[in-house]
Amino acid sequence: MPDLGLDVLFKGKNMLRLLGGLWVAVKISIISVALSIPLGILLGIVMTWKNPIIKAVTRVYLEFIRIMPQLVLLFIVFFGTTRTLGWDVSGELASVIVFTAWGTAEMGDLVRGALISIPKHQYESSAALALSPAQTYFYIIIPQTVRRLIPLSINLITRMVKTTSLILMIGVVEVLKVAQQIIEANRMTSPNAAFGVYLVVLIMYFLICWPISMLARYLEKKWR
Amino acid sequence: MNWDFIQEYLPLYESAALLTVKIGVAGIALSIVIGFLCAVVLFFKIPVLRQAVSVYIEISRNTPLLIQLFFIYYALPKIGIKINPEVCGMVGLAFLGGSYMAEAFRSGLEAIEPIQMESALSLGMEKSQALRYVVLPQAVSISVPAFVANIIFLLKETSVFSAISLMDLMFTAKDLIGQYYKTTESLFLLVVFYLIILLPVSLLGSFIERRLRYAGFGS
Amino acid sequence: MAEPLLKIEHLTKKFENNIVLDDISFDVAQGEVIVVVGASGCGKSTLLRCINALEPIQGGSIKLHGEEIVYGSKNLAKMRQQIGMVFQSYDLFPHKNVIDNILLAPMKVQKRKKSEVREEAMELLRRVGLDDKAESYPRQLSGGQKQRVAIVRALCMHPVMLLFDEVTAALDPEMVREVLDVMLSLAKQGRTMIIVTHEMQFARAIADRILFIDKGKIVEDTDPDTFFEHPASDRAKQFLNIFNFERSK
């Protein structure tokens, strides 16, 4: 059995340090998701409005955010704001801003899609039963939209968690950075540490994302 | 905005963009092949292979590309698998993209009514002929929108290549920001070049999608 | 009596533990037109699907010209070429136009020459009144036109018998007639056919024999006049009553 460098993980507080790094990434995803969902619902509703100016502005926002790689957005906020606005934005703050902007766009598009996918005859048959517009929304439209939206928003959480791995690139000390530090510190005693440590990081991300994906898939099947 | 600076460093961005496109296209082509094979395995429920494909898809979809690349580039050499950064970028992208392409193909295959297969069989075709002449052509055109969306997604994902020391657009931008503090210009070029790469694919995608929707198969 | 074209003996078909077809036996002679009737879910469509081996069977045998049709067997494609089948709907290939739908199997399966099949296909299309639609795509055709194309597509394989699975069930009333007329003219040509349908008047006009199936069993196997005028079983009487209405006022 070749040396896979797994021993490094059990040295000192290395495992705890890795988990601490992971928590930084997870914390940023949780904050971003928590902000994205309400903002995204608002954006989605606004996007169904008929006003041409609102339509154009939201459209451009959505298209730009979605076509740019998230890493480019991180660079723009992290490096760009410092220069042009003179703010000193920390890596963590830049990450939360970018992931919230991105999550809001994605969520907004999901909400808009769910709203316009409710067929017109649902409104009509509800009106024909003499339900008021408020009752129509409360009893007919919202339950149908929510069922469609929940699995999709859960999927958004996995995407968010995976994307937070990028914050390494703007210098935030998260799990990959900690992994690099551990590998570097043990370069002499354990030259193969890279294998064990990166494998563990891979598994950590998988253990977070996989159950969330499974939950989304389960709900999607159940509510189809 | 300093236009002289932009003019001076334009060629640097050009070659970086070319590298992104080159590795991106190769990785995407490979991911299409992987995705197609996986979808066929899943569709025909081939034993053993099917389980292997499912495990691959779960790992590929539930871990970030950046970590996959780190693993391939920094961890695998420790057990004797050494590859250069360009091949690593391609392999990583294909590993990630294969599962997304598989899902696109599979949903296309599943959208075909079983009666299409049955009426082909009842005309005396072998299963392979029915697949080749009847099911696949329809499944592929149904998959096209998901397919294009995946291509855009994968092209965007190439932005992490600088992490394995490939001199791509991100690497170039970061380098120039660090060296000359020309942040605005560097970021401007970065955005422009990504738009040049991604916008045509995105427009092509919505064009194809609109055409398919109006042409509409079926009844 | 000559050897029957199709011989079904003790056919049993189950889905899980549900018996769908229970010990079905009957023969079909060359040139005979058999109409299978019964309530929805009685197993009549499943019977046709079993004859074409689209479903595995759990007991009994189906023989064409004395040769057994076995689900999943190597020569199945060969056997199926001899049996034409038309389904309820959506069975034209949407990515191919009318003529390519018809030519595909004769060219790829039977390796016949395009010019020869095309000539035959155009002649058949002319007979069903659709020769001007050869280049149209299925989505541009009405339901009745699609079904006539599907019949021509089956005929071009030169089958020795034809199976029709509720081919008019999904059609608007005014389309039904044009499809049934095509089937009537096939009957006049002496084609061997098994037809599953809910069109009772048509059944009576076209059938040499009526098979009435209830709960997976053949309850009556008789000529049409006897079946419609003097059904022997209570179940058949009940079934035929569905099609009669009494004045409400």
pLDDT score, position A145: 85
**What percent of chain A has pLDDT above 90?**
42
- CA angle at B56 for the pair B53 and B58, rounded to the nearest 5°: 110
Q: In angstroms, rounded to a whole number, what is the distance separating the alpha carbons of residues C193 and C190?
A: 9
> Chains meeting C at 3+ CB pairs closer than 8 A?
B
**What percent of chain A has pLDDT above 70?**
97
pLDDT score, position A2: 59
The HSE-up count of residue A148 (CA atoms within 13 Å, CB side) is: 16
Q: CB neighbours of B187 closer than 8 A, spacing ≥ 6?
A: A75, A76, A79, A80, B173, B177
pLDDT score, position C181: 92
CATH (one of 3.40.50.300, 3.60.20.10, 3.30.310.50, 3.40.1360.10) for C6-241: 3.40.50.300
- CA angle at B189 for the pair B185 and B194, rounded to the nearest 5°: 150
Is residue A1, in this structure, part of any structural domain at all? no
Who wins on pLDDT, A83 or C221? C221
> Total structural domains in chain A?
1
Q: Do B194 and A68 touch (CB under 8 A)?
A: yes
Q: What is the mean pLDDT of residues C83-102?
A: 89
> Chains meeting B at 3+ CB pairs closer than 8 A?
A, C
Token reading at B155: 């092209």
Is residue B14, in this structure, part of any structural domain at all? yes
Q: Which domain CATH number covers B104?
A: 1.10.3720.10
Strand pairing report for C59-64 and C193-196: unpaired
pLDDT score, position C207: 93
Low-confidence ranges of chain B (pLDDT < 50): 217-219
Q: What is the DSSP string of chain A?
A: ----S-GGGGSTTHHHHHHHHHHHHHHHHHHHHHHHHHHHHHHHHHHTS--HHHHHHHHHHHHHHHHS-HHHHHHIIIIIHHHHT-----HHHHHHHHHHHHHHHHHHHHHHHHHHHS-HHHHHHHHHTT--HHHIIIIIIHHHHHHHHHHHHHHHHHHHHHHGGGGGGGT---HHHHHHHHHHHTTTT-TTHHHHHHHHHHHHHHHHHHHHHHHHHHHHHHH-
Taking alpha carbons only, the member of B133, B114, B120 closest to residue C85 is B120
Q: In angstroms, rounded to a whole number, what is the distance separating the alpha carbons of residues C101 and B169?
A: 50
Mean pLDDT (chain C, rounded) = 90
pLDDT score, position C112: 92
Residue A81 forms contact with B (CB below 8 Å): no
SS3 at position C88: coil
ipTM above 0.90, yes or no: no
Write the single-letter amino acid at C38: G
pLDDT score, position C1: 54
Kindly report, residue by residue over C170-187, the tens digit of the pLDDT: 888 888 999 999 999 999
**What percent of chain C has pLDDT above 70?**
99
- Among B20, B59, B70, B175, most A C-beta atoms within 10 A, so best to mutate, is B70
Is residue A2, in this structure, part of any structural domain at all? no
For C87, the closest of B115, B125, B141 (CB atoms) is B115
Which sequence spans correspond to the domains of chain C? 6-241
- Among A29, A63, A65, A75, most B C-beta atoms within 10 A, so best to mutate, is A75
Confidence of residue A124 (pLDDT cuts 50, 70, 90): confident
The answer to whether residue A106 scores a pLDDT higher than 90 is yes
**Which domain does B150 fall in, by range?**
3-213
Confidence of residue C39 (pLDDT cuts 50, 70, 90): confident
Q: What is the DSSP string of C207-242?
A: -SEEEEEETTEEEEEE-HHHHHHS-SSHHHHHHHHT
Distance spanning both ends of chain C, measured CA to CA: 54
Kindly report, residue by residue over B167-180, the tens digit of the pLDDT: 899 999 988 888 88
Q: CB neighbours of B59 closer than 8 A, spacing ≥ 6?
A: A206
Sign of the torsion formed by the C-alpha atoms of A136, A140, A144 and A147: positive
Give the chain C residue nearest B120 (alpha carbons).
C105
Q: Do B61 and A213 touch (CB under 8 A)?
A: yes
**Which domain does A35 fall in, by range?**
7-223
The answer to whether residue A205 scores a pLDDT higher than 90 is yes
The answer to whether residue A104 scores a pLDDT higher than 90 is yes
Q: Which domain CATH number covers A81?
A: 1.10.3720.10
Confidence of residue A23 (pLDDT cuts 50, 70, 90): very high
> Total structural domains in chain B?
1
pLDDT score, position C90: 67
For B122, the closest of C80, C89, C95 (CB atoms) is C80
